[in-house]
């Protein structure tokens, strides 16, 4: 449920930050695309950005696991979003965990300028630790939507992105070949804790 769309009447040009978060395979990008498409249907000017490091499906589109997609602009650094934003009503940002902490200031500046900023990203890494700037984005956001995948082992709600390999680096791009969504109990069992 989109709280901003369903319970708050926004009049005039009022900026806000919305964060969509959760584990891998929970539908974050799908929800981001849904919100951005609704804004486009409403005739609002929309710009979409993603980190250039994320080339899993496409270099110039954000793509959900169920293959929904929308055109985006890849950027190396969050500061580029301020330069490329132009005169828009809504900005979408996918895979926020891959940006550095400057993304928080960028989102605040955009919202302060009356822009609706919708950000999607992982809240935790494979080790269940807060991931990159997403926890800070959640703190400054007016609206936070945490969504869940389904645990592939037991069918309960999955909160965690379990890495199937033993690689220890935090950023390791991959899909179902490297990660599966697990609930707390199944994560503990799979990790041997």
95 catalytically annotated? yes
Catalytic residue among 95, 167, 175, 189: 95
H or E element that contains 46: strand 46-51
> Are 20 and 32 a contacting pair, CB within 8 Å?
yes
> Parallel, antiparallel, or unpaired for β 16-22 and 143-147?
parallel
Which candidate, 79, 191, 78, 55, places its Cα nearest to that of 129? Answer: 191
Contacts of residue 125, defined as CB under 8 A and 6 or more positions apart, other chains included, come to: 97, 131, 161, 170
135-139 contacts at long range (C-beta below 8 A, 24 or more positions apart): 136/101, 136/104, 137/17, 137/19, 137/96, 137/103, 137/104, 137/107, 138/19, 138/21
Is the torsion defined by CA of 29, 70, 133, 1 positive or negative?
negative
Contacts of residue 182, defined as CB under 8 A and 6 or more positions apart, other chains included, come to: 151, 152, 153, 158, 160, 162, 190
Q: Which residues are catalytic?
A: 95
């Amino acid at each position: 449920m989109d709280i901003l769309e369903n319970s708050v009447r926004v009049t005039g040009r009022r900026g806000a930050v919305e964060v969509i978060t959760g584990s891998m395979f929970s539908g974050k990008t799908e929800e981001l695309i849904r919100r951005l498409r609704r804004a486009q249907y409403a005739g609002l000017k929309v710009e979409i950005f993603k980190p250039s490091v994320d080339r899993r499906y496409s270099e110039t589109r954000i793509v959900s696991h169920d293959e929904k997609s929308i055109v985006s602009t890849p950027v190396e650094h969050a500061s580029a979003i301020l330069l490329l934003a132009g005169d828009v009503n809504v900005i979408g940002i996918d895979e926020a965990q891959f940006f550095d902490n400057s993304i928080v200031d960028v989102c605040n500046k955009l919202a302060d300028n009356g822009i609706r900023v919708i950000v999607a990203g992982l809240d935790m890494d494979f080790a269940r630790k807060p991931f990159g700037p997403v926890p800070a984005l959640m703190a400054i956001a007016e609206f936070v939507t945490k969504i869940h995948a389904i645990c592939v082992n037991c069918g309960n709600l999955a909160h965690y992105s379990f890495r199937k390999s033993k690689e220890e680096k935090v950023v390791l791009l991959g899909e179902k070949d490297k990660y599966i969504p697990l609930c707390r109990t199944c994560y503990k069992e799979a990790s041997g804790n």
